[in-house]
Amino acid sequence: MAQWHIGVIGGSGLYDPGALTDAQEIEVGSAFGAPSGPVTTGFIGGVRFTFLARHGKGHRFSPSHVNYRANIDVLKRCGVTDVLAISAIGSLQERYAPGQFVVVDQLIDRTTGRERSFFGQGITAHVPLADPVCPRLSRLAAKAAENAGATTHHGGTYVAIEGPQFSTRAESTLYRAWGADVIGMTAMPEARLAREAELPYALVGMVTDYDCWREPDGDVDVADILRVMAGNAENARAMLAELGAALPKTRSASPIDTVLDTAIITPQEAWDPALAARLDAVAGRLLAQVPEQDD
């Protein structure tokens, strides 16, 4: 048994971590470059939460320019046990209306230009990703959102696009035909990297608009999105308060905590030392088991 430490990656409009007690803002460096900004850490309901603004203060980073590897690496370095991502999303289905929450359970990755893995030449790893989110954390987050008063959908398929432009109408219609329910620009490779870092990941999407498939509404408009986002952010902060109060007193182990045990196929004696050094947080649990070499 262990204590919970929830890392919150806030999407657009959620830069205020809310009612944290003993809050501290800390600059944390990463072996994978600069993260989006400092973390803010403190307590909600007696549980430690560490908050990181995905797009940086003032929304400085577009979805394609967020350093997802550094962000996940920093949360791991902070001792986070689980990651809750909160993101603005568009709806691809009539039943998911603006102002509602969707706790995503599946992802389709249409991003093209982002670093997708901590591993690579020198240490190869293939983590399983059939179920890309943590069912336990997702259930807890969904219940917390409902208790906060948000209309909440349990499950939904999120299609992650590169952006920063919104979809064409033909693309939006295609994604609906694929069975996608909501659309956004940030869940991938964020979820992939969280899995490689052995961090259970859940995604609460805050619906801001219907994507452009829905005629006669026309195109997606940023001004409309921002209006809905303000109310969504209040519900999201209330959700975090409910989550902090409802988490079990101790955290039982998750299979994701040790997913690298069967994912790394490069034998330890062949590991690239430079890459292994960069993985001191992501794969620190395994690196600590590597026997020291005699000089």
67-82 pLDDT, tens digit per residue, is: 999 999 999 999 999 9
Q: In the numeric block, which tokens belong to residue 227?
A: 């209006």
By percentage, how much of the chain surpasses pLDDT 90?
82
Question: Which residues are tagged catalytic?
Answer: 209, 211
The answer, yes or no, to whether residue 208 has pLDDT greater than 60, is yes
Give residue 147's domain range.
5-287
CATH number at residue 161: 3.40.50.1580
pLDDT value of position 18: 59
**Which contacts qualify for 248-252: CB closer than 8 Å, 24 or more apart?**
248/4, 250/1, 250/2, 250/3, 250/4, 251/1, 251/2, 251/3, 251/4, 251/81, 251/82, 252/1
- Backbone φ, ψ for residue 237 (5° rounding): -65, -40
pLDDT value of position 218: 65
Q: Is residue 214 assigned to a domain? A: yes
Q: 139-169 burial by CB neighbour count: b if 16+ within 10 A, else e?
A: ebbbbbbbbbebebbbebbbbbbebeebbee
Q: Is residue 44 assigned to a domain? A: yes
257, burial (CB in 10 Å: exposed 0-12, middle 13-18, buried 19+): middle
| 30/14 Cα distance (integer angstroms) | 23
Average pLDDT over residues 199-203: 98
The answer, yes or no, to whether residue 12 has pLDDT greater than 50, is no
Contact yes or no for 225/250 (Cβ under 8 A) = no
| 38/51 Cα distance (integer angstroms) | 9
Beta bridge partner(s), residue 5: 48
| 106/123 Cα distance (integer angstroms) | 28
The answer, yes or no, to whether residue 13 has pLDDT greater than 60, is no
Q: Is residue 76 assigned to a domain? A: yes
Q: Is residue 292 assigned to a domain? A: no
Contact yes or no for 39/52 (Cβ under 8 A) = yes
pLDDT value of position 292: 57
pLDDT tens for 240-257 read: 999 999 999 999 999 999
The answer, yes or no, to whether residue 294 has pLDDT greater than 70, is no
Peptide bond into 128 cis (omega under 30): no
Tally of domains in the chain: 1
Inter-axis angle of helices 68-77 and 187-196, to 10 degrees? 40
Would you give the DSSP letter of residue 63?
G
Q: Is residue 240 assigned to a domain? A: yes
Average pLDDT over residues 149-173: 96
Q: Is residue 295 assigned to a domain? A: no
Average pLDDT over residues 184-200: 98
- DSSP letters, 130-159, are SS-S-HHHHHHHHHHHHHTT--EEE--EEE
pLDDT tens for 250-293 read: 999 999 999 999 999 999 999 999 999 999 999 999 987 765 55
| 157/84 Cα distance (integer angstroms) | 17
